[in-house]
Structure 1
């Protein structure tokens, strides 16, 4: 991938759109090409962590998060893509936990991206919903910025088969596939600092009704 100059980071942050998708969707595909990303299932726990110290990002079995991503050959880009997926998993974990201060998303994000996750979680908590169904993310690309100080990870989302479910009563709010089902994410991942090992999401931009993601 071509490199971009560091000023592009500020431009991306300035153009960030907080697009709330409280009743959004997904798609059915069981493959996950990211190695070591640790897609979880079963009952989640807000305080649990894995052997390597990373937080639990598991979700219930009725919610399938699919990341049909190709792993870049460059180690930095691969790590950034990996943790961009974990950022999404952590956000979903926080929604399922109904905890706007869930430690999972804080582990994988900072700055505006952390605020975005918190805002998303608060919206679902206020609505009394949790996600269910299949939520698919695909067509990932990674672009190195600022001499390797950051990586811009972009990917599409198909939320046509992901739905919101009422916590009280369990009613599922189904919807039909349309252009509204397709989004494009641009997640700016920053290189780990000091002894840190995790690439963290700094900003996230979400575009709705993206035709290129539908094709």
Structure 2
């Protein structure tokens, strides 16, 4: 079935395509074979939406809602370490915000800007715009697993995780057509993320790298 199209924002470096933002899986229409795909989607406005995971901090984070036809799951959600748990939470919210922007067709969605900074913000906007220009949105389920955090300093950290995008699809907005592609090894993606903590205590996306078809993420 269909995986969503994806976007590469910088040239490939070695085996990894160095991205400022990841994209969502894609078949022949609208996505390069070399690109990475976005996984899962949230929306800023759906009558049948369910709220994103609440953040138990004093920071007033934006609310992000998922439409009924889009789901994201994250494993693990917590590690028991307060700093690592905060990083995992904000990374999950970033992915939700990214997909919410795609569903809303809004590259400048406030929730997306909240979780991105610098080059990461620019790439996020470009990625959402590519969907908007194509007249596509996203639907289905994406599973993030094997999420691991490495804290480098009080305000810098990195994450690695896998994305199972075999059930995440792209959809033509005007016709509701689901774009079909077969599930292959490339449906599974390894991610490497750099984040930094801002003055509000939010861990923002700075860069993300991905390797499609990575052996360590295969089922």
How would you bin the TM-score normalised by the shorter chain?
A: 0.7 to 0.9
Counterpart-to-counterpart distance in 2, 1:68 and 1:22: 20
* Compared CA separation, residues 63 and 54, structure 1 to 2 (3 A): same
Corresponding residue number in structure 2 for 1:43: 46
Structure 2 gap segments, 5+ residues each: 1-16, 27-36, 48-53
Corresponding residue number in structure 1 for 2:120: 113
Tell me the TM-score normalized by structure 1: 0.75
Counterpart-to-counterpart distance in 2, 1:128 and 1:54: 29
Alpha-carbon contact 2:146-2:161 (below 8 Å) kept: yes
Alpha-carbon contact 2:43-2:101 (below 8 Å) kept: no
Q: CA deviation at 1:42?
A: 7.0
Q: Give the secondary-structure state (helix, strand or coil) at the position aligned to 1:156.
A: strand
Give 1:144-159 correspondences, 5 Å limit: 144-145=151-152, 147-159=153-165
Q: CA deviation at 1:116?
A: 2.4
* Compared CA separation, residues 70 and 53, structure 1 to 2 (3 A): closer
Which one has a larger percent helix, Structure 1 or Structure 2?
A: 1
Q: Structure 1 runs of 4+ off > 2 angstroms?
A: 15-27, 39-42, 50-53
Alpha-carbon contact 2:102-2:132 (below 8 Å) kept: yes
Counterpart-to-counterpart distance in 1, 2:173 and 2:90: 29
Counterpart-to-counterpart distance in 1, 2:182 and 2:25: 15
Q: CA deviation at 1:59?
A: 2.4
Equivalent residue in structure 2 for 1:138, among 132, 141, 145: 145
Q: CA deviation at 1:20?
A: 4.2
Corresponding residue number in structure 1 for 2:203: 199
Counterpart-to-counterpart distance in 1, 2:45 and 2:155: 36
Which one has a larger percent strand, Structure 1 or Structure 2?
A: 2
Alpha-carbon contact 2:24-2:39 (below 8 Å) kept: no
* Compared CA separation, residues 192 and 76, structure 1 to 2 (3 A): farther
